[in-house]
Amino acid sequence: MISKIGVLTSGGDAPGMNCAIRAVVRAGLKYGLEVFGVMDGYKGLVEDDIFPMDRHYVSNIVNRGGTILGTARLREFKDQTVRQIAVDNLRKRGIDALVVIGGDGSYMGAKKLTEMGINCVGLPGTIDNDIASTDYTIGYDTCLNTIVDAVDKIRDTTESHQRCAVIEVMGNHCGDLALFSGIAEGAEMIITPDHPIPEEEVFESLRQLHDAKRKRAIVIVSEKIYPDIFAFAERITKATGFEAKAEVLGRIQRGGSPSAFDRILAARMGAHAVDCLLDGKGGICVGMVNNKIVDYDIYEALQLPRDKHVSVLRLIDILK
Ligand code: ATP
């Protein structure tokens, strides 16, 4: 039976991570466990930056973006000898198990630690929604709303000047943020890694809109598709008649108070993670599928095909 658990956040930060930390701490304490916080992800594990948390440490954080535990990327954690230092630091405090809140890279670290005797449960904390074992990741909904809020503002000035706005959003290699913010905005075009559009086709569609006297065009583009989104906007200006302006929303997308949806998701997942550790499970990750909280083996989860939302694509044309 375990008596001490740790919690850390790793990889890119996401709104709602604090709610997940809170849920793990409160659920752990409720079941009589001692709960430890680890600063700055796997870096804190290796550097022994580990401290006991009480229920007050996580009070008044549900509405705060970022992560109170800090986060980091530690490439060296792929090295077994570096992970052994982390295991030794946990063992000397008697910490038997860990909740890791992060993306797929963090899941790999969690799986490897489990194989070295520390049971770990992963929670999907990333704005990208790029983890196939859950319908939604913690932080995605807040980020989506932040994008929609920003595009609403850009839309005002775009329409006033009868321009084309080309807006680059985050998502890493996953197009969900672009696709669903584009649907929410009724964007004229949405370009994602899952659904790329040849440049000539983009120009032709925008030319047709311009010739039909459309007042504005909104084009939402996933990051990492065009090496230079500003140069892409210049090519649109030359090819279509629209004056195109590029905007990179950038890190504003990572911040802010988590949405109610993300808070509730994080609370449910955090409590489930503690249940799993109490059941002696490790090397697994928590997800929400069809509104049910579930868990998967991490290796299996990382092999699952991601939903490319093909059925949603038709909406772009139907609602244009
Ligand atoms: P995001 O989706 O926001 O980028 P992430 O968790 O995928 O989050 P990564 O930088 O890929 O972010 O991974 C976070 C950390 O997890 C890495 O810095 C490293 O410490 C650890 N990690 C990643 N891959 C492995 C691996 N194969 N083995 C052990 N540890 C790993």
Tens place of pLDDT per residue across the chain (320 aa): 899 999 999 999 999 999 999 999 999 999 999 999 999 999 999 999 999 999 999 999 999 999 999 999 999 999 999 999 999 999 999 999 999 999 999 999 999 999 999 999 999 999 999 999 999 999 999 999 999 999 999 999 999 999 999 999 999 999 999 999 999 999 999 999 999 999 999 999 999 999 999 999 999 999 999 999 999 999 999 999 999 999 999 999 999 999 999 999 999 999 999 999 999 999 999 999 999 999 999 999 999 999 999 889 888 878 87
- d(CA 276, ligand 1 centre) in Å: 22
Q: Report pLDDT for 86.
A: 98
Best residue among 108, 114, 126 to mutate for probing ligand 1, ranked by most atoms within 8 Å of CB: 108
- Cβ atoms of 16 and 47 within 8 Å: the answer is no
Check: CB of residue 45 under 8 Å from CB of residue 38: yes
Sequence-ordered list of residues with C-beta below 8 angstroms from that of 306, at least 6 positions apart, any chain: 130, 132, 174
Indicate whether 162 and 70 sit together in one domain: no
Same domain as 11, residue 135: yes
Both 263 and 197 in one domain: the answer is: no
* Tokens 């504005």 found at: 216
pLDDT of residue 317: 77
**Across-strand partners of 287?**
294
Reported pTM:
0.97
By the 8 A CB rule, do 309 and 115 touch?
no
- Say if 320 falls within a structural domain: no
Task: Count up the domains in the chain and report the number.
Answer: 2
Q: How far is the CA of 136 from the centre of ligand 1 (A)?
A: 19
Rounded Cα distance between 263 and 267, Å, is: 6
- Write out the residue range of the structural domain in which residue 162 sits: 142-254
3-state secondary structure string, the chain? CCCEEEEEECCCCCCCHHHHHHHHHHHHHHCCCEEEEECCCHHHHHCCCEEEECHHHHCCCCCCCCCCCCCCCCHHHHCHHHHHHHHHHHHHHCCCEEEEEECHHHHHHHHHHHHCCCEEEEEEECCCCCCCCCCCCECHHHHHHHHHHHHHHHHHHHHHCCCEEEEEECCCCCCHHHHHHHHHHCCCEEECCCCCCCHHHHHHHHHHHHHCCCCCEEEEEECCCCCCHHHHHHHHHHHHCCCEEEEECHHHHHCCCCCHHHHHHHHHHHHHHHHHHHCCCCCEEEEEECCEEEEEEHHHHHHCCCCCCHHHHHHHHHCC
Clarify whether residues 127 and 267 are in a common domain: yes
147/110 same-domain check: no
* Residue of 17, 75, 77 to mutate, ligand 1, most atoms within 8 A of C-beta: 77
**pLDDT on residue 318:** 83
Domain check: are 69 and 130 in the same one?
A: yes
pLDDT of residue 314: 84
Q: Looking at the structure, do residues 163 and 223 belong to the same domain, yes or no?
A: yes
313, part of any domain: no
Residues with CB under 6 A from ligand 1: 10-12, 42, 73-75, 77-78, 102-106, 108-109, 112, 126, 128
Residue 102 CA: which ligand 1 atom is closest? 6
Specify the CATH number for the domain of residue 174: 3.40.50.460
Residues known to be catalytic: 128
Whether residues 119 and 147 share a domain: the answer is no
Residues 290 and 250 in one domain: no
The verdict on 32 and 146 lying in the same domain is: no
* The pair of three-digit structure tokens given for residue 203, joined into one six-digit string: 């120009």
Question: Which of 254, 275, 296 corresponds to the end of one domain?
Answer: 254
Confidence (pLDDT) at 179 = 97
Strand-pair partners of 169: 222
Q: Could you tell me whether strands 217-222 and 50-53 are parallel, antiparallel, or unpaired per DSSP bridges?
A: unpaired
The per-residue pLDDT for 162 is 96
Same domain, 286 and 154: no
Residue 93 CA to ligand 1 center (angstroms) comes to 24
From the CA of 45, how far away is ligand 1's center (Å)? Answer: 14
